[in-house]
A and B are shown apart, each in its own frame.
Chain A
Amino acid sequence: MTLYLLKRLAVLVASTAVAAVVVFAFMGLLPGDPAEIALGVNATPEAVAELRRQFGTDRAPVVQFLDWFGGLLHGDFGTSYVTSSPIGPQISDRLAVTTVLVVGGMIVALLVAVPLGTFAAVHHRNPLGALISAASQIGIAVPAFLAGILLVFVFAVQAQALPSGGYVPIAENPAEWLRGLLLPWLSLGLVQGAVLTRYVRSAVLDVMREDYLRTARAKGRGSTGALWRHGLRNASIPVVTVLGLQLATLLIGAVVVERVFVIPGLGDLLLNGVAGRDLLLVQGVVMVLVAAVLLINFVVDVAYHLLDPRLR
């Protein structure tokens, strides 16, 4: 297990470094000279050269990359060429908001998928189980931002029970914070829950066919008891893999949902950066999101090994 962990950790570090090279090569080198862009078309060559020195873009690309990547390792994302403010603090503030959004969405997805998926598996021969399968198929076809718009229509326009958007920091007003996040959580969670329900169902179905479950039933446990005691842990193995991949999907889905509900998270920062042509900011946010996806994949792989004794 330790050996596996070390190997997998090495892969994580290597792929993050390669991803950083890719992001830097793409964002940092291809577009026009930030100094020229900042000064406009009428700038003198001397002024451009001076600003280039200040930005550090007069150095060799390799040096620039090492400087940027070295900074990332201790949370320094550089200073924006456009707003002249440090990027790191902005990213960490926004990351906190997005994390709350994603974790809440994941919890909603689990609350929907585990009971429904298990129920659909146990009752896979009767109409109610089939109905859940059909409903999940429809849920999969609805993108999160569309779910968001539908939820706003129902809960904000019709019922007028919840705000249609906006974000109140928890320190300011915890009740409003919660009210503002309910619909975004539901938009992300219901859609992912629909996807997850299918995986939970098929995982539980697979486990129900196993000999050890029949043995447990034969020993006198009821079928619910047997499933509870022996089935769910084993069914959780394939589900955890899917869950991790979904966490990555949720992170990206949050970018879109933040736009629907006007929530100041990473996605909002990213899109504002693009609109303001703040490429260093975009580069930083993209890197954080990519690193997060890689980290999630790492955690999934490790969790998979911990859960499945056959792999130890």
Chain B
Amino acid sequence: MTEFRNNRPTVTSESAPSGVDQAPRFGVADAAERPIDIAPQISLRGLRKTFGTVTAVDGIDLDVHDGEFFAMLGPSGSGKTTVLRMIAGFETPTSGSVFLDGTDATGLPSYRRDVNTVFQDYALFPHMTVAKNIEYGLLVDKVPKSKRVQRVGDVLEMVRLHGFGDRRPTQLSGGQRQRVALARALVKRPKVLLLDEPLGALDLKLREQMQLELKAIQRDVGITFVFVTHDQDEALTLCDRLAVFNNGRIEQLGAAQDVYEFPATAFVAGFVGSSNFIRPHVAREVFGMSGSFAVRPEKVAILPRGGPVSAGAAHIDGVVRDVVYAGAVTRIVVDGPAGLTLSSMVLNTASELDASIRRGTEVTLSWPAAALRRISD
């Protein structure tokens, strides 16, 4: 697989990056556009890791910049966690290098790296109180007592756990433990915070709330956050840039919006959000184009058969096979020509369903020409 670093189309280039500290959400696509004189906070070069005969990480090159909220997204077994563990220093790369803040940290033990980790299971010390857990890293660094108390108090305030210092981890809820883990890592004031599926163990509501909090905290402290997740919604919600992992490699690297709108490969188009795929033979037969294509369901509009199609939009005729109501949206599955099946996602703005579209209705599907994205397989 190739890294599609520069496939960004001209449409979005007016929102080009403005500065390092602003960390704009959209448009910061790649390292090349950054000022060159700033060493990346994390720099991975040719990183490989094998366990026995299994190759977990297969040649990763990646730069993560100062103050970025960066996501490593991929299915389980794609190597994203192993990469995170090599940045933290828990695994030694089989080959390749890890640079932290411009210096080679490949062989450095984790306790001598200026990065801290929020573990998936939080890894709170069960024999210590919340305050002692947070204080531990400062104690190890021989920070004077008065400063320790001050900093522990401050960070507890930041994660909104003021007054919980004397509790034991077992006396806390999942969300509270998650915050303690965050506080324990942040109190060390690292340059980089690594988060390994930090919200995986929380229920949906709490996860959404913690996403917002994480984002706010990252904005406040302004350090680099690198987090690993298999949840594409979470990655899109939180990060400035993301790398999509598959089989130990990066399939695509870019700003969240770019990766979503312009997936480079079939894997990315299918893993980040959902896509309608148009295989080469269908593309040739129906559209007279060569190659594979993908189009997002929400870009596909449903019109009455023969209805007016806006200028420049692609359209095909089809028959509704299924109407699936899912709360906010309704998914309509349509059988088109040449065995093509397309989904359309319609926002349920009215409180009643459109009764004119049901199983068997003949419709026309239409989408802006730009929504059809060419992908490599």
A binds B: no
